[in-house]
Structures are given as structure tokens and as C-alpha cells.
Amino acid sequence: MEFYWKIAAVTEIVLEMFLMGYFLYRFTKPFLKQKKYAWGIGVIYPVTMLTLYFMPAQISNFAAYSIGIWLAFVVMCMIDRRNYKQKIFITVTFYAIRWLSVYLAQTLCDVLYQNIVYTTYMRGHENMQLALFVAVNLLGVVCIAVIVGLSCYFMVNAYVYKDEEMTVKELFMLSTPSVTGMTGYAIMQYYQTYYESHAGNRAENMYSILAIAHYTIFLILIVVVIILFQSIKAGQEEKLQSELLETQIEDTRRHIEQVENLYHDIRSLKHDMANHVMTLEQLYEKNEIRQAKEYTDSLKNALYDATKQVKSGNPVTDVILVEYQEKAHKKGIIFESSFFYPENEKLDALDVSVILNNALENAVEAAGAYKENHEQSHVRICSYRKSNAYMIEVVNSFEGVVEMNSDTGLPVTQKQTKGHGYGLSNIRQAAEKYYGGIDIRYENDRFRLVVMLMLA
């Protein structure tokens, strides 16, 4: 019977180790860039723990689990060499979740086992004690799976900005509940030893109640702090994005004012056209060809300044295109436009201006960076119809690596400045108002953005 008791105990430990390896894999995978290698973390942890468990030389549980989890941290860093502070947070959090969950389940199961095994029936049927031991152990494994699984699930889903670099302040704040919970666990273990040696079973029962309360409170606290922090951060990001969108709307209003000024200039030219024609006729009658040519050139320049030679079919988009054309030319970037605004369609110029402003700002900025290391750089924008779909395509020179955010499906901004990284998000939001979307491609030093709007 002693052999069977040992087999049951070892089986529970092995099952628990591989279960923890699986949950560690599931917890770390969403945070890694190379997700296909995350299985290595889930394998190294249980293998290390079982190796330490079956080693002849005995080491403390705390030391063994520390070795296992920090070795998993090393493998994590080898798979993904970035955002090390976030990996420390993942390691510390999972370590705390693992210890608190296991000891919560064990405490509950110990209380259950003690209350059953010392009953009159069980004392009279000693052969049933092994079955009770196996059943309680299996229940403990199920409890651990539920607690750890739910904790990891809620934390992973609540942690929205997985690809964002974690700061030292964020690491300290998010890791504090885990560290505090583990410190409380150590204190609880000390008092358990004290009560068992001085106060007997009554104190032991009191310890079990306190331990269950402590483990439960800190498990909930760890998860809730992460959820609340990410919720607050998401609210701040949404507020900032709204502020930036409001700024773009103000820019559009400014563009509309420029359009009004443009029309005023055109009306002025039209009003004075009769005088200009009369002046030219007089110059030609006097055979003053050179003066007539100079006057014609000055008139052409005035007309060019008023119209800017951009005709997209909408005065607002005309001004936006002219503005970014001038920005591109100042940087020595080739700017080509075959953009047209669809006529007689229920399309808000404000939404199109949001798309153009964000797309062209990103394109000119990226093309400008490309120009620093190459002779030529370009930005090309065009639009076309495909049945009921209105397509806007922006292509620009680009140098670097495009890293996609697995959660948003958008490129990760390389700038740490507050306010960057919302351009494509605003474009997609505008496109979705018309049941459309965006497509992003990067190939041969070119970044290509296609925006689709459904017009009917």
C-alpha cells in the first residue's frame, strides 16, 4: 500500500508540473513576437522542475521553483530580445499566481481530506483512504487548473498594450501585488510552523481560514490591478486619440478657410479679368510685345498661386493635397497625385480629409527619412472605383522594418513620443464608417496603404 500511496503522490506532482508548463505557455505566448517558439517556455519549466524533484540532492521548494521560473524567463528573453521589463513582470506575476493558486487549492483540499479521513466510517475502512487521497488530489489539480487558467485568461485579455514597452514605474506598480502576496505567503508559512508547534489543531484550523483568505484576496488583487491599470490606460489612450482627432478636425476647418480664401482670390481675378484683357490689348496695339509677355507671365503666376493646379473634384481635398505636395517638394520628395473625389456620392469630405491628412502625413514623413539615405524618394496617391467600392491608395518610399501589432493588426509605431501611432487607427475608423477597411503592404522599400470605402 505504501508503494501505491507514493505512486499517487508522484503522479499528482508530475501532472501539476506539466499543467503549470501549459499555463505558462498560454500566459507568455501573446506577449512574444515569435509566438511559434513559445512552446519552448512551456516545456523547459516542467522538465526543469521534474529534474530538480527527482535529483538525489534535496533543495527547498522555494529554491526549486525559483530556478524553474527564472530559467523560463531566460528562454523567454532568448526567444524575444526586447521589452525585458515586461518579461520580468510576466515572470514575477506567474510565479505569484502559481504559488498562491497551488497553496489555496492544497489548503482547501487538506481541510476537506482531514474532515473526511477522521470520520468513523473512514477509520473503519482504511482501504478507502487511498481512494480518498487520490480523489482529493485530483480535485486539487482541477482547482489549480481553474484558478490559474482563469487568472491567466483575464490578465491576458485585459492587458491590451502587449507590444508597448513597459516602463520601470509600470513594472513596479503591476508587480507590487505579486511581491506582496508572496511576502504574505512566507509570513503565513512561518506562523503555520509556530501554531503547529504551540497551539495544536485549533490554531491549525485558524491558520487554514487565514491562509485561504490571504491566498484568495491576493489572487483577486493581482488580476484586478492589471485589469484596472489597462482599463485606465485604454481610457487615457482613447482620450488622447479623441484629442488628436479633434485637432485634425480643426485642421480641416482651417483647410476650408483656405478654400474660401482661394475662391475669394479666384473671384478677384475674375472680377479684374476685363481690366487685364484691356491692358493686354493696349500693349499689343502699341506693339509692346515684351511688356505684354511679362504682364501675361505675371497673370499666369497669379492664377497658379490661386488654383495651385490641383483639381481633385473637391476644394477641401484640393487644399490638403496642395499642402502635402508643398511639404514633399521642400524635402526633395517626388509627389504624384491622381486622386479624385467621387461626385454625387454620400461621402463626407470631413472623413476623406481625416484619411488624407493621416495617410499623407505618415507617407511624407517616411519618405523624408528615406530621402536622407537615398537620392530619390517619392509619395504617390491615387483613387479609383471598383464597382461600389471607392479605393484610396497611398504609396511611399520606406526604409526600415514593419512590425505588426498582433492585437490591432496595425504597424507598431517606432516613435516613443506621446501622440504617435494613431494615424492608421483613425484612418481605419473613418473607413469603417462606410463599411470598409484598410490594407497594408510593405515590399521592395515601398509602403503601400489602401483604404476602401463602400459608397452604396
For residue 262, the model assigns a pLDDT of 62
For residue 260, the model assigns a pLDDT of 60
Structural domain spans, the chain: 2-243, 310-456
3-state SS record for 304-318: HHHHCCCCCCCHHHH
Entry pTM: 0.64
DSSP 334-394: EEEEE--PPTTS---HHHHHHHHHHHHHHHHHHHHHHHTTSS--EEEEEEEEETTEEEEEE
Q: Which CATH architecture has domain 310-456?
A: 2-Layer Sandwich (3.30)
For residue 419, the model assigns a pLDDT of 42
Q: Sort 3 into a burial class: Cβ within 10 Å, 0-12 / 13-18 / 19+.
A: exposed
- pLDDT tens sequence across 313-347: 777 788 888 888 889 999 999 999 999 988 767 78
Q: How far is CA 183 from CA 89, 103, 151, 175, 190, in A?
A: 16, 14, 20, 12, 11
Q: Which residues of the chain have pLDDT under 50?
A: 202, 416-420
For residue 407, the model assigns a pLDDT of 65
- pLDDT tens sequence across 264-314: 665 666 656 666 667 767 777 777 777 777 777 776 676 665 555 567 777
For residue 418, the model assigns a pLDDT of 45
Compute the distance between CA of residue 432 and CA of residue 147 in angstroms, rounded to an integer.
39
With H, G, I as helix, E, B as strand and everything else as coil, classify residue 445: coil
Q: Sort 304 into a burial class: Cβ within 10 Å, 0-12 / 13-18 / 19+.
A: exposed
For residue 416, the model assigns a pLDDT of 47
